Amino acid sequence: MWSVYKRGVHVSRTLYLWVGAVPNHVVLISLCARLGAVPNHVVLISLCARLGAGTTRLCAGIVSVAKPISIECKMADYSNSLYEHLEEETGVKTGYVKTGSLCLAQNQDRFLSLKRLASRLNVMGIPWDAVVSPPDVNHALATAAARHGVQIHERTTVNHVMMEKGHVTAVETDRGAIECEYFVNCAGQWAYELGQASETKVSVPLHGCEHFYLLSKPLPEPLQPSTPVVMDMDGRIYVRAWQGGVLSGGFEKNPKPIFTEGRNQLEIQTMQEDWDHFEPMLSALLRRMPELEVCEIQQLVNCPESFTPDMRCLMGETPGVHGYFVLAGMNASGLAFAGGAGKYLAEWMTYGYPTANVWPLDIKRFGNLQSSRTFLRHRVMEVMPLLYNLKVPRWDFQTGRQLRTSPLYDRLDTQGARWMEKHGFERAKYFIPAGKDLLSLDASKTFYKPDWFDIVGAEVKCCKEAVCVIDMSSFTKFELTSTDDQALALLQHLCANDLDVPVGHIVHTGMLNERGGYENDCSVVRVKKNSFFIISPTDQQVHCWSWLKKHMPDDPQLHLEDVSWKYTALNLIGPRAMDVLGELSYVSMTPEHFPSLFCKEMSVGYANGIRVMSMTHTGEPGFMLYIPIEYALHVYNEVMSVGQKYGIRNAGYYALRSLRIEKFFAFWGQDLDPFTTPLECGREFRVKFDTDIDFLGRASLLHQRQEGVSRRFIMLVLEDHDTELDLWPWWGEPIYRNGELCGTTTSSAYSYTLERHVCLGFVSPPSLDGSPAAVTPDFINRGDYEVDIAGQRYPAKAKLYPFSSLFAQQRRRKDEMELSNFQGK
Amino acid sequence: MVPPLCFQHLKQYWAMYRLRLIRKSCLTQIKLLGFDTRLCHSSRPPVDLIGINYPAETINGRKYRDNHQTSQMPLSKINHILKANEYSYKVNGYDGRNSVNSILGLDSNILASNALNEDRRSAATCLQSRGMLLGVFDGHAGYACAQAVSERLFYYIAVALLPVKTLMDIEDAVENERPVLPMLQWHKHPNDHTSRDSGKLYFNSLRTYWQERIDLEEDEDRDIQMALMNAFKRLDNDISLEAQVDFGVPFSHFTPLRVALSGCTACVVHVDGDDLHVANLGDSRAVLGVQEENGTWSAHTISNDHNAQNADELQRVLSEHPALEHKTVVKHDRLLGLLMPFRGFGDMKFKWSGEMLNRVYETRPDILSANEFKMLPPNYHTPPYLIAEPEVTIHTLRPKDKFLIMATDGLWELMHRQTVVQVIGEHLTGLHWQKPVSGLSFTLGQMHRLLQERKSRAIFALEDENSATHLIRHALGSDGFGTVDPRRLSNMLSLPQDLARMYRDDITIVVIHLNSANM
């Protein structure tokens, strides 16, 4: 048997090896079937048990397309159509029935959330949910895979993955080693363990929870297979027809985490039914369908599902090891995602990137810091109930908090800070003034005007009129240095904007991929001739690191360091920021002396060596202070005490958000993604077209500039929207132009200056002949735009530029550049 | 500091006895009225409790009611009070020492009547011999004696049980200052008081005991019954001797003297395999919970109370004193008209000769100033009146013996033993409800009803995982119909310090869960 594998290695150029240890065989096989179709590749699957012995065999078989984020909808939609045609392709029955599904609402808030979902689903056309028989789908996919030459080896356990110089080289199984170039960790529940078992540990942050569903015997009058799936999220249950009876499960409030200590703890086969645990769901079921009372029980099935820290699945190449891919953590939607996830990952492995924006699912959004077993155990206990919880805007996870904090955390907390978390880092949302009723503030989360409205309003006003301090320490900070000009060369290659600026200049730039899409959007400071300070969004810590590493030449003279933890960042926003800093440093901070987008190392209070940068990430005047952490408290205290007479106060991220959105500042991860180019969001001025440096993505951009963009980032100011009474926009709302669907929003905020809601989003004109049409100024300016919030359309004014200030700033910057060039020489 | 403390002890001592008298008469009245004690296991009618918390407010009915509603304790506080001293110990299943574990675990709890708790409990595993020792101790006239006995008695029993060979090893180790093998593994609650003084003295007395045993070389196959008897008597003797040495030395510690002049009862159980020995001294009690084949619970008392209610015991006391004294030895159901238990540790004022007692009072007036005990007890002619010889009962555990309850009289005054067994038995079966069910051949509706029933019972049972706590909750809060009335419970727990003793004595309970499967 083994020699066959070996020969396989020699014959083929590339060997993909898939590993699915136990669960989620459907996911696995669907990928392989897809990959097997790619020529010149040998695909092996090794399974520690028999095919179909995993938990997908047990799963409920509902293919529901109504998912919280659009990439998930796309994946489920693809799976749906894949399963639909699987039977005719392979001749294997899959039990596919288009049933549709009914989502029930027991209260007004749930009804609203369903309406929001419905209006979003309109964007991709109303999908038909379906049910299948999971083992049959598994079998059919395996048949299809085998037809493409995929080899499946059952009862073969992968012990660990071998690597050399950051590349996967071979897989050590209980039946010998197999050389391979790519490896996919598709081991479901055991993916975490398998990740830990390789030479370089791979962090796969997921954790299992027991999941129960009930099978009944056929009803007296058997249920038709086409009976719609019923989801009663308030009752926390789902129900589908199953062999004349029902199959009903749910996501309880008090989940039972399992396998914390790993696989040796308990075998899947011995998992127990727990009726007492199922009681709330049984009650909910009988309350909804009282006639089931007389129906006899067939079985209570316990099939553990794996959950991730943010309710989204994990896919993609791991940051540390080239060729090591992961596809796991399906959060109980394994079957619905399998087809689509397989498709995208197969594309990813074959072409280097998938054909859709999968950043929300990219494993690089997590790092080692989410790998603690205790953290995962606690977090999944919160995540699993959340699947059926009402998701109101701006909810935060409550578990696994206070992991990374700024040195000022306690100070801010005692001043009334309310916290949110990003990539494990605590950030203040807003500050509750002394004397406000805290309870009522925390309790009310709503689709309407939130209770913090006035608080944030006051913070924004202070930013506009006086000065505010925002602790922005969570941002990712890298330092790239070299002995010669290697650092500059690398950045010139990776960044769209020109980095060859005098020392002390700050450059906002995207890091683009081949297609011209944003892999990162960052601010780069040239602190020395060959030393750059790179500031990226918080959740870029792993992704940006691996992007830089991937493109870095193997040169010992070039050094990249993650210095995120070394600096505390304070953002002083407001017209009086310069007065505060001036007083603390005895240096004039007026724009004449300290122009915009400059960085100087100077002293603040007693502390020396503070990096002061004239930018605020909001478009407002002010400064960012990058303070070595041991000075953080001192500088903060000095700033606050000196700032007293200028009316200084703390502010949080909500104020920052409102400010940046009204200034039309796009944020990576929310508005920008690897499929958005600078041209599509009006950032041509940040691309060095005027030089002949061949940066990554240049060709695509030039091509796009010629063809014109087919989608455009715009700003929509809601008209006729009552902030007090109407539903607030969030993100993901459909945008209509002259009654026709033309895009979706990506973020929104209330602008306290305009006293209106501002939504940011992308629109594209309808294609006439199948090829995408270019956006024209008329398309933006001469259209009646509407934003659909939960089925209600609100007229909006579309704008390409917020105020003239953007131009003014750009012009000023150019002037300053020339001036400083003059001074420098 | 010390004299007023002693004075207070004695005051309470008197108060307690006066009150017990009141309570006893109350109980008889209820019995006369035909109350079923199983239904109403409190010794007083439920109604009179409502008002007791607010004696001053009863004049104004309106105010009384408002006040009452606002001052009811929240459940969390009730639970906090009840659970403050609860202790559970699960016997490790892999314990090789007791090849067959006849004990699954134990639950214990102490609820003091007021701030000064005079009850003690002990639990320990014998490390050098086999078996487990458990005991409850009800102190009076202060806690000193109960404290000393609870700490010392098990060592005496351990020494009495050990073969001479082992004792010689120990002696050898002590002599050469080598580490000594521990005899006992204690199972203690962190709140259980530990005395710090007198350790040296206690150790020396214990050492003398084993040295004597080595000298006598009495290594014939000692039975546990004799060992228990000897250990009890030896300890009481040591308490007496230590005090006599003590009061001869001016400015010495007061502890040995205080131990000797206060007293305590003791109920100790030794379990080894299916052999159960109960050594009882005084009016605490050990009761077995027996589950009959039809599932009903019955109480099987395996110790006799040593008080006036026990005719045999009364007969014993009378027989030990001349006929002339028969009218005075036991008066108002009390020894010499003063002491309710007829056996006990300490209480040297009922043991020492009148001569010696007078000497104590003369040489150490400081510890006894201003109380009624300056003089000898009335009619003190032929001491000792009180003995420390336990009555040892032997029982062989049967599969139907599910648990053993030991408790001080604080519990038995409030609840009938049958009710006690009933409550614990139902609590245990309630906990068994939580074991998984399997849903074969049920309809959804049937399963639903079953689960809901289980859930409601589980909530009821889950409030107390500790059976002893559960029992206290019932003892104090029973509404007379088998369920706990939170208002009544709250009233019982919020009694003012000085009133509490009128309604409840200190309560100490140890529940031993027996492993009937292994018998």
pLDDT at B439: 57
Give the mean model confidence (pLDDT) for residues A430-453: 76
Considering only CB atoms, which chain B residues are within 8 Å of A272?
Answer: 436
Cβ–Cβ under 8 Å, residues B138 and B283: yes
Distance from CA of B79 to the nearest CA of A (A): 24
Q: Quote the pLDDT of residue B289.
A: 93
Minimum mean pLDDT range among A150-164, A517-531, A738-752:
A150-164
Mean pLDDT (chain A, rounded): 85
Which pLDDT value is given to residue A525?
96
**Segment among A633-647, A743-757, B245-259, B303-317 with least mean pLDDT:** B245-259
DSSP run (H or E) holding A213 = strand A212-216
Nearest to A286 among B448, B454, B455 (CB): B448
> What backbone phi and psi angles, to 5 degrees, belong to B175?
-60, -45
**Residue of higher predicted confidence among B242 and B247:** B242
The larger pLDDT score, comparing residue A698 to residue B64, is at A698
The pTM of this model reads 0.68
CA–CA distances in Å: residue A239 to residues A103, A135, A213, A223, A226: 11, 19, 9, 12, 13
Is the predicted pLDDT of residue B369 greater than 80, yes or no? Answer: no
Cβ within 8 Å, pair A216-B444: yes
Among B437, B441, B445, select the one facing A275 at the smallest CB separation.
B437
B451 to A282: CB separation less than 8 angstroms, yes or no: yes
Q: What is the pLDDT of residue B8?
A: 46
What is the per-residue pLDDT for B138? 93
Nearest-Cα distance to chain A for B457, in Å, is 12
Query: How far does the CA of residue B448 sit from the closest CA of chain A (Å)?
Result: 7
In degrees, to the nearest 5, what angle opens at C-alpha A494 toward C-alphas A527 and A181?
Answer: 125
Average pLDDT over residues B279-287: 93
- A823 vs A203, more confident: A203
% residues pLDDT > 70 (chain A): 88
- Separation of alpha carbons A760 and A766, rounded Å: 19
Max avg pLDDT among A326-335, A410-419, A429-438 = A410-419
User: Is it the case that residue A278 has pLDDT exceeding 70?
Assistant: yes
- Going through B408-506 in order, the beta strands assigned E by DSSP cover none
Collect all residues with Cβ–Cβ distance below 8 Å to A527 and sequence separation of at least 6.
A503, A504, A533, A599, A601, A611
Q: Which residue has the tokens 């790619």?
A: A38
Torsions phi, psi for B15 (to 5 deg): -60, -40
Q: Are A100 and A129 in contact (CB under 8 A)?
A: yes
Task: Kindly list the residues of chain A whose beta carbon comes within 8 Å of any beta carbon in chain B.
Answer: 214, 216, 272-276, 278-279, 282-283, 285-286, 292-297, 299-300
Q: Where does the pLDDT of residue A126 fall: very low under 50, low under 70, confident under 90, or very high at 90 and above?
A: low
Quote the DSSP letter at residue A774: P
Residue B35: is its pLDDT beyond 90? no
Nearest to B483 by CA among B39, B78, B83, B72: B39
- Give exposure, B18-53, as e/b (b: 16+ Cβ within 10 Å): eebeebbeebeebeeeebebeebbbbbeeeebeebb
Q: Using an 8 Å Cβ cutoff, are A600 and A533 in contact?
A: no
Model confidence band, residue A153 (pLDDT cutoffs 50, 70, 90): confident
pLDDT the model gives residue A267:
47
Smallest Cβ–Cβ distance between A286 and the set B436, B437, B444 belongs to B444
Residue A275 CB neighbours (<10 A): 22
Q: Which of A233, A234, A230 is nearest to A248 (CA)?
A: A230
> Distance between CA A311 and CA A527 in Å, rounded?
40
- Among A22-36, A230-244, A663-677, B113-127, name the one with the lowest average pLDDT: A22-36
What are the E-state strand segments in B355-514?
391-396, 401-407, 507-514
> What is the nearest CA distance from A373 to chain B, expressed in angstroms?
28
Q: What DSSP character marks residue B199?
A: H
The residue of B434, B438, B444, B452 whose CB has the most chain A CBs within 10 angstroms, and thus the best one to mutate to test that interface, is B444
**pLDDT category, B92, cuts 50, 70, 90?**
low
pLDDT in tens, A481-509: 999 999 999 999 999 999 999 999 999 99
Contacts of A285 in chain B (CB under 8 A): 444
Q: What is the pLDDT of residue A750?
A: 94
Please state, for a pLDDT cut of 90, what percent of chain B lies above it.
Answer: 26
Contact B447 A275 (CB under 8 A): yes
Across the interface, do A296 and B454 touch by the CB < 8 Å criterion? no
Mutate to test the interface with B, among A216, A248, A274, A276 (most CBs of B within 10 A): A276
For residue A568, the cross-strand partners are A627
What's the Cα-to-Cα distance from B78 to each of A3, A337, A563, B189, B491, rounded to whole Å?
Answer: 73, 51, 53, 20, 10
* Whole-number pLDDT of residue A818: 42
Helix (H, G, I), strand (E, B) or coil at A445: coil
What are the chain B neighbours of A282 within 8 Å (beta carbons)?
A: 444, 447-448, 451
Chain B residues whose beta carbon lies within 8 Å of the beta carbon of residue A275: 436-439, 447, 451
8 Å CB contact of A297 and B458: no
Give A237→chain B minimum CA distance, Å. Answer: 15
B330 beta partners: B335
Query: Can you give the pLDDT at residue B430?
Result: 64
Q: Calculate what percentage of chain B has a pLDDT beyond 70.
A: 74
Tell me how far apart the alpha carbons of residues A39 and A31 are, in angstroms, rounded to a whole number: 15
Q: How far is B455 from chain A (nearest CA, A)?
A: 7
pLDDT number for residue B492: 85
Contact (CB<8Å) B443/A272: no
Q: Residues A392, A464, A432, CA angle at the centre, nearest 5°? A: 45
Mean pLDDT of A391-402: 85
Interface list for chain B against chain A, based on CB atoms closer than 8 Å: 434, 436-445, 447-448, 451-452, 454-455, 458
Pairing verdict, β A468-471 and A649-650: parallel
The residues, any chain, with a CB within 8 Å of residue A689's CB and separated by 6 or more, are A701, A702, A705
ipTM, two decimals: 0.79
Short-list B93, B78, B235, B81, CA closest to B154: B235
Cβ–Cβ below 8 Å for A293 and B443: yes
Q: Does A733 or A28 have the greater pLDDT score?
A: A733
Distance from A381 to chain B by nearest Cα, in Å?
22
Task: Decide if B386 contacts B334 (C-beta within 8 A).
Answer: no
Dihedral pair phi/psi, residue A314, rounded to 5°: -115, 125
Mean pLDDT of A401-409: 93
Which of A804, A823, A428 shows the shortest CA–CA distance to A653?
A428
Rounded-to-integer distance, Cα A338 and Cα A76, Å: 8
Interface test with A, best of B432, B433, B438, B447 (most A CBs within 10 A): B447
Among the partner residues B438, B444, B455, nearest to A273 by beta-carbon distance: B438
Terminal C-alpha separation, chain B: 54
Query: What pLDDT shows up at residue A615?
Result: 93
Residues of A whose CB is below 8 A from B458? 276
Asked if pLDDT for residue B14 goes beyond 50, the answer is: no
Q: In what order do the strands lie in the sheet with A130-131?
A: A62-63, A130-131, A97-98
Query: Which range, of A315-329, A679-693, B186-200, averages the lowest pLDDT?
Result: B186-200
Non-local CB neighbours of A352 within 8 Å, separated by 6+ positions: none
What percentage of chain A reaches a pLDDT higher than 90? 50
pLDDT digits (tens, 9 = 90+) for B402-446: 899 999 999 998 889 998 998 888 887 765 555 556 656 788 888
| The pLDDT of residue B47 | 39
Query: Is the confidence at residue B52, as pLDDT, over 70?
Result: no
Distance from CA of A45 to the nearest CA of B (A): 37
Determine the 3-state secondary structure of A823 from DSSP: helix
What is the dihedral angle through the alpha carbons of A772, A776, A782, A785, rounded to the nearest 10 degrees? 50
- For helices B354-363 and B224-248, the axis angle rounded to 10 degrees is 40
Amino acid at A628: P
CA B327 from centroid of its chain's CA atoms: 30
Q: Of A95, A65, A92, A52, which Cα lies nearest the Cα of A241?
A: A95
Under 8 Å between Cβ of B161 and B211: no
Digit-coded pLDDT (tens) for A3-49: 222 222 222 333 444 444 333 455 556 666 566 555 555 666 666 55
H or E element: which one contains B6?
A: helix B2-33
Residues of chain A found within 8 Å of residue B444, distances taken between Cβ atoms = 214, 216, 282, 285-286, 292-297
Give the span between the Cα atoms of B489 and A360, in whole angstroms: 56
Please name the residues in contact with A301: beta carbons below 8 A apart, sequence gap of 6 or more. Answer: A58, A212, A213, A214, A215, A249, A273
Whether residue A300 and residue B439 make contact (CB cut-off 8 A), yes or no, is: yes
